[in-house]
Chain A
Amino acid sequence: MNDSSSKQVTSEQALNNGEIEDTIRLDPHIQEVIGKALRSHYDDILKLPIPDTMLVLLAELEAKERNKG
């Protein structure tokens, strides 16, 4: 149906086969809202205290290595 060969497509565009979709640009405000939510999702987890189990694990790995000499 979609005859892509009729379009002028550079080899680089063909490589990035998302090029056509990339022309669908979001309103900058919407992009900003999504960006903000993305960072708040991520930062929310960053702010959590590190579980002791992870620090204990690292200490164990270190101890094991020391014992090996």
Chain B
Amino acid sequence: MNDIAAQGAIGKNSAYDGGRLAARGFVQRMSIKKKLIVIILFLTLFGLIIIFAGMTINNRIIFGKGMRKDMTVLADIIGNNSRAALTFNDPQTAAEILAASRANNHIVHAVLFDAAGKKFTEYIRERDTVRLPSSSAEDDIGIFSNSHMTVTRDIFLNERRIGRINLTTDMAEWNDSLRNYVIVFVLLTALTVAITLPLAFSLQRIITAPINNLVETAREVSRDKNYSIRVTKTSADELGVLVDGFNGMLAEIQHRDAELRDSHYSLERRVAERTSQLDTLNKELEAFSYSVSHDLRAPLRHIMGFVELLSGKAPEFLDAKSRHYLQVISDSARQMGHLIDDLLSFSRMGRSEMMKTQISLDALVKEVINGFQEETKGRDIVWKVGPLPEVNGDSAMLRLVFVNLISNALKYTRPRQQAIIEIGCSPGGQDENVFYIKDNGVGFDMQYADKLFGLFQRLHRSEEFEGTGLGLANIRRIVLRHGGRVWAEGAENIGAIFYFSLPAALNAEDRDGINKNKGGVFYDGT
């Protein structure tokens, strides 16, 4: 029961609130100008109504008093004139006397009572025969409520009360004057509004002009993003304070903008400076490392040639220890040769132009695996090669990617009885193919995963697994130049998966564009 009642109450309240909100919304949507005009008019009308009401009430009181006085005098006159008729018990003559009331056409009813209080005679205004106020009605005091006023006077003769007279008058006179008051009020109100409205229109500008000025400027600022504009201050009141605050904020924004712009420019300038410095340094370094590698080859070839010649003559002149030394020199020189070759290759990958063609990776991977046939003779290797798509790229470079990755896989599965090497492709995210080479080799610790593709970064000692630390770095550089990415997953003694992605289904021109862009983004020395 209570819940229902409460719900009802809530419903009612919310409806009420809704109405009020709607009304408030209407008021809120009005411009300040309209609000001011409405307030001025409302107050004016309110004042007029109070004055009108007060004057009307006052007039009604004065009118009532005057009328009572008049009626009293009249009642006394009629009463005195009726004394003989009362005394000699002549109601007919009394009626004639009462009929004299006709002269005052507001008198509705006049009654003469004898001393005993019995009705002696009466006069009724002809047109009022149908409805009469009760003759016993006492004087009205109400302002607008009663339509009649009754005055009662005793009639004396020789100091004896010989009767009583009741005079009842209608309030037509008051109603007439009330109507006149209302007409005057309406005319005055119209006149006041006619005078006040233009005044209100011009006076409200005192308040709205600075506000509109402020609003207009705020609009201009937000539209043009021009923070150098200032609002002119026209008054020293709260609006003046607001204008000052607004101008202050604009100045602050302008100041900050300038600072921000300055620091932005200086930052860009510094970045550009550093970039060009880095570019220059990098090119020098590249050229240096290339020429060093290149120049190192000639002496190394001499060393290797002469070590070979010496080894040819060795059995005759050298003892076993010396021959072993020669062998170490020869091995080291060969290793150094590999290193120089790899460095040159890495260097070349960054410098050489890409020759892009449509390449069948299926065929390419088959060729690469076949290339390892000789090397892997005698090993138990299971190859699982999935279908690979055609891609657009530099065939020599991509071949190098697969050669390096497969050679890595073969190298690190060497300790395994049976090596399992999987090569496949899975469509990765949008617009790219992801290739992977998975092995069951020694794997690596995932915490070094980000170091794998770094230059000269090696996770295993070269006594265990030979290598120069340049292979994966080279792969990374090639894949990046093709617009792809490289990453790896692995677990120690379980295996490793190397992934790289290449953009899919792009035609040659697009890819060139991309490559040029990538070339800018990924620093590759070109």
Asked if A and B are interacting partners, one says: no
Residues of B within 8 A of A (CB): none
Residues of A within 8 A of B (CB): none
